[in-house]
Chains A and B, each alone.
Chain A
Amino acid sequence: MSSNIVINASRLTLSYGHTDIIKDASFSVKKGEFVFITGPSGSGKSTLLKSLYGQIKPTAGNLMVGGLDMINIPRSKLQGLRTHLGIVFQDYKLINEWTVAKNVVLPLIIAGYSMDVQQTQAKRLLKHVKLSDHINKYPLELSGGEQQRVGVARAMSKNPFLILADEPTGNLDDYSSNVIWDLMENACGQLETTVLVVTHRIPSIFSIPYRHFIIENKGVYEVH
């Protein structure tokens, strides 16, 4: 496998109990690519995404993420891999008892960075997502769109090699959605981070090239 390939799935099967959700899917994603995965509700988009950060183990086939075999990955290596990923959730999953700044630097806290680095990075990222005025607020004091911007800032805080986003604009209005897509485009276009987004709908205006996969009948197919 080329070192340029970030995700490589080969005859991948994902199941819940005895029910296959994804079956015999093969695809790969290269470094710096922006990928959309779409499909109807319940088609297995989120399941596929969860398998990429090790929340679900494949039942058959092969899945490599960042050069690591996700089927036989030991717990410690999985933890290590997750510290190099940026994950964005539809329901934001911010820690409500923590300030916005602390939420943003969660990956840095986990990696053991000093307070100085954390503070500098929090200020820089919150400026980037236009939330500098909210640095000491708590997530519940923000709107949905603002919370998701915090989520995106958190995902980008440790310069991950791969950002995984699960319906990042699913709960947002058009204005907030556009802000989120801009941030994602920037992450990919300027920082060369690979971005994989699971969504119902690809935004109509998107300024960087992207690949599009669709999940249908348990298979993953590329749309050209």
Chain B
Amino acid sequence: MKFIKNHLTFIFPMMAILLGVEFFLVFDRTTNNYEKNLREGYSMFIVATEPISLEDFIELDSHINQSEEVKKEKLAKQIAKGMSKSSTQKILDALPHFYNIKFDSYLHTSTLEHIKAYLEADDRIKRVETFGSSYGASYTLFSFIKFTFKAFVIFMSLVSFFLVIKQMEIWSYAHKERMQVMETFGAPVMLRSGVLFKVAFIDGIISTVLTSSMFLFLKYRWAEESHIDILLQMQDLLFQPIDFLILLATALFIVFVSVYLVVFSTKE
């Protein structure tokens, strides 16, 4: 019983850290998707006196990565309804060029304002239209959610890390006599603390397997049985094979750092 308790007090905080890391990975993947949609759904409308190529736009601001000229023939036809063909052509010639431009990333409203001002300063551009209010609200909400989630994960991981260190100190105390005997016979630090590394590595691997199993369950059982549309749509993003390696690497890194901290902070 004591043996199990001893290991669970290490495995639980380690799992809390790994869950935090995995949630972070899943959150990052899903928000990247959302961010992409927001980015692609946003554009600036440009009215220009002469044709402007994509290269010209990129020269004006490097965030611009797409430009699409709005066909003005339809517009000219509507204006010239009932008029002669030559009038339609005259209207068509008189109309300025219209462009929709898109950006390479999800930009802050202040950056967008800056880009707008820069574009308006160009002689060829007569007017720039943005959709500031709705974009600004989405951006603020999105950034806030992202920040609070990251802050929570970091805080939770820090608390859990201290619990891992505490457990390591308990183990170090439990094996103190053995380590002292080895020290008396001239064993180097790494050999003396080998027992801590061994126990912690095994528990680190157990924590990784348990955390991965939880997410695999969420992905293949819970998500499917829940019939929640968004979960089914995002099912692929829930747990990916690379995540197992990331979790394992994180667990082993934490094990190494915590053993190192405990062993080297103990006075001989």
A positions within 8 Å CB-CB of B: 53, 55, 78-83, 85, 87, 93-95, 97, 106-107, 109-110
Contact = CB atoms under 8 A, between A and B. Distances in A.
Nearest to A157: B185
A87 B178 contact: no
Interface string B163-184: 0000000000000011011101
Contacts of A79: 186-188
Interface centre among A78, A97, A106 (most CB of B within 10 A): A106
Contacts, number: 39
A94 B181 CA distance: 8
Would you call the interface of chain B mostly helix, strand, loop, or mixed?
Answer: helix
Given A80-B186, A95-B182, 4 more contacts: A95-B177, A107-B186, A110-B188, A110-B191
B178 A82 contact: no
A106 B191 CA distance: 11
Question: Closest 10 interchain pairs by CB?
Answer: A82-B186, A83-B186, A79-B186, A110-B187, A95-B178, A93-B181, A107-B185, A110-B185, A106-B185, A110-B186
Nearest to A93: B181
B178 A81 contact: no
Interface in B152-206: 177-178, 180-182, 184-188, 191
A85 B185 CA distance: 7
Contacts of B188: 79, 110
Contacts of A106: 181-182, 185
A81 B191 CA distance: 17
B181 A95 contact: yes
A193 to B, nearest CB: 16
Interface residues of B, number: 11
A110 B187 CA distance: 5
A140 B55 CA distance: 82
Contact of A87 (B177, B184, B187, B191): B184
A82 B181 contact: no
Interface in B58-102: none
A83 B185 contact: yes
Nearest to A92: B181
A110 B182 contact: yes
Nearest to B188: A79
Nearest to B268: A75
B195 to A, nearest CB: 8
B177 A93 contact: yes
Nearest to A50: B184
Contacts of A94: 181
Question: In the complex, which of the residues B177, B180, B187, B188 has the most CB atoms of chain A within 10 Å of its own CB atom?
Answer: B187
A199 B214 CA distance: 61
A93 B185 CA distance: 11
28 contacts: A55-B184, A79-B186, A81-B186, A82-B184, A82-B186, A83-B185, A83-B186, A85-B185, A85-B186, A87-B184, A93-B177, A93-B180, A93-B181, A93-B184, A94-B181, A95-B177, A95-B178, A95-B182, A97-B178, A106-B181, A106-B182, A106-B185, A107-B185, A107-B186, A109-B191, A110-B185, A110-B186, A110-B188
Nearest to B191: A110
A55 B268 CA distance: 9
A25 B25 CA distance: 67
A81 B186 CA distance: 7
Nearest to B175: A97
Nearest to A76: B188
Contacts of B182: 95, 106, 110
A137 B150 CA distance: 53
Contacts of B181: 93-95, 106
A82 B187 CA distance: 9
A132 to B, nearest CB: 23
A184 B90 CA distance: 118
Contact of A82 (B177, B180, B185, B191): B185
Nearest to A78: B186
B189 to A, nearest CB: 9
Which residue among A55, A87, A95 has the maximum number of chain B CB atoms within 10 Å of its CB? A95
B250 to A, nearest CB: 30
A20 B182 CA distance: 29
A215 to B, nearest CB: 22
B42 to A, nearest CB: 62
